[in-house]
Amino acid sequence: MKITFVAARTLLGLIFTVFGLNGFLQFLPLQAPPEALALQFVTALAASHYMVVVFALELGTGVLLLANRFVPLALTLLAPVIVNIVLFHLLMAPAGLPVAIVVTILWMLTAYSVRPAFQALFHTSVHA
């Protein structure tokens, strides 16, 4: 099982490192989404420079995952990015949904491997 967790973390790190770098260096051609609403959304994100922050988060967390350093922090920072990726593909560009689901599964496997770091989030506290 440990091999599965290492493979999931490494793949997740590679995916986000490559696509984070691509956001800055554009070595992979980006195709405009064919759906009009998705194109408007992507255009607005690019024009507002919102994607610069997203690409920086992807790159930074990808490197942390590859280096196996601060993995819980990297996963915490990646969670909202992945939620947005899944929602974008679910609601606006369904062609990319399978890849988004694979990334989500890789994230869940990696999070499971460091679950003790997240256990405190799931404890209820009762204060009088």
Q: Which tokens sit at 10?
A: 């490494």
Distance of CA 36 to CAs 45, 74, 89, Å? 14, 33, 13
- pLDDT value, residue 32: 85
Domain residue limits, the chain: 2-113
Token pair in block for residue 66: 């590859």
pLDDT given at position 122? 85
Q: Are 88 and 41 in contact (CB under 8 A)?
A: yes
Q: What is the pLDDT of residues 71-115, one digit of tens each?
A: 999 999 999 999 999 999 999 999 999 999 999 999 999 999 999
Inter-residue contact 58 to 20 (CB < 8 Å): yes
pLDDT digit string, tens, across residues 5-19: 999 999 999 999 999
Predicted pLDDT at 105: 98
